[in-house]
Chain A
């Protein structure tokens, strides 16, 4: 049986995250549009030349215009498919490489954080969404480090002595509260 709390949390995750999927969709659309434009330009020029030549030749051994341009059209369509697919594949590989680099840096940084390194920046690169995500992780690590350093300073100050018992007790209790707030 599914946990309703988990289900309701998941249902809030949208299928479209414009900051991530948007640029990829635009890049694919640009590849398709460019491929289409090149195909149109080439085929239009070829059609003008081929039909004029066929008309002048005067030996009409064909039933339709399609018979004249069948091979030419097949080659251009194959070229369109190959060009668009190759460019699309390169884009997919670039996207995968960027994700591996950006998220890989974030994973390394979180693993280092578990060993106590909360200050070394992620350096996820300059790719928009991964850079923003890296900065978010850096901010969380930095806030945690600030909190730990403050608690450490307060613990050192309290352990140094010279504080009245009443004040010591108050600050002791406050310190415990602040420790409880770490990673709630």
Chain B
């Protein structure tokens, strides 16, 4: 687990992650093209018949014969490359999609009024500053909440004295709380 505080100052998306993704895509597409080459090599490398007339006819008829082979091999390439790229996208982009999904869950939790835990993403996840910024906001709200409650409780303690002093202190505490809340806009 990474330290959210330390991660907060880091970049949203690390260069290493982007280069890793590009490198994997490069290898993926290269393998796809390699497979296409192998299929076409096997289709084209049959020896031509020895006799002059036979070679002439074979070459004349090769194009119509190769058309479906070419179409099938390109289709196989497209399916293989698209399939492996999709898998790559799902697993690599999960380092962005996962934290976003988690943040959405935490936001729903927060809006429902349930306890909101400190957010921390898995190590290796991107967009770490998002968790740090959210924790900063919730932390600041909690500190303010504690200060407002402490102000009100301090006023309540004076209620052991006469009622007029108690009421005056409570009203003063409320003015302080209302004034403190003015920073929110």
Q: Which residues of A contact B (CB under 8 A)?
A: 10, 13-17, 20-21, 24-25, 28-29, 32-33, 36-37, 39-40, 43-44, 47-48, 51-52, 54-55, 58, 60, 62-66, 69, 73, 77, 80-81, 84-85, 88-89, 92-93, 95-96, 99-100, 103-104, 106-108, 110-111, 113-119, 129, 133, 136-137, 139-140, 143-145, 148-149, 151-152, 155-156, 158-159, 161, 165, 168, 172, 175-176, 179-184
Contact = CB atoms under 8 A, between A and B. Distances in A.
A101 B137 CA distance: 20
Contacts of A143: 111
Contact of B67 (A36, A44, A85, A180): A44
7 contacts: A17-B100, A29-B86, A55-B59, A65-B66, A114-B139, A152-B181, A182-B141
A80 B32 CA distance: 10
The winner among B18, B29, B110, B182 for most chain A CB atoms within 10 A is B29
Interface pairs A-B: 4 shortest CB-CB: A110-B133, A55-B59, A183-B141, A159-B174
A118 B48 contact: no
Majority-rule SS of A interface residues: helix
A182 B33 CA distance: 58
B98 A17 contact: yes
Interface of B: 12-13, 18, 21-22, 25-26, 29-30, 32-33, 36-37, 40-41, 44-48, 52, 55-56, 59-60, 62-63, 66-67, 70-71, 74-75, 77-78, 81-82, 85-86, 89-91, 93-94, 96-98, 100-104, 107-108, 110-111, 113-116, 122, 126-127, 129-130, 133-134, 136-142, 144-145, 148-149, 152, 163, 167, 170-172, 174-175, 177-178, 181-185
Contacts of A16: 90, 94
Given A88-B29, A155-B177, A184-B114, A103 B81 contact: no
B111 A139 contact: yes
A159 B177 CA distance: 10
Given A65-B48, A149-B181, 4 more contacts: A13-B101, A47-B66, A92-B22, A110-B133
The winner among A64, A66, A104, A107 for most chain B CB atoms within 10 A is A107
A159 B175 contact: yes
Contacts of B127: 99, 103
A115 B48 CA distance: 79
Given A110-B136, A182-B141, A183-B116, A47 B104 contact: no
A180 B145 contact: yes
A29 B82 contact: yes
A20 B97 contact: yes
B177 A88 contact: no
B185 A24 contact: no
A52 B141 contact: no
The winner among B55, B108, B145, B182 for most chain A CB atoms within 10 A is B145
A151 B18 CA distance: 46
Contacts of A159: 171-172, 174-175, 178
A36 B32 CA distance: 11
A110 B82 CA distance: 38
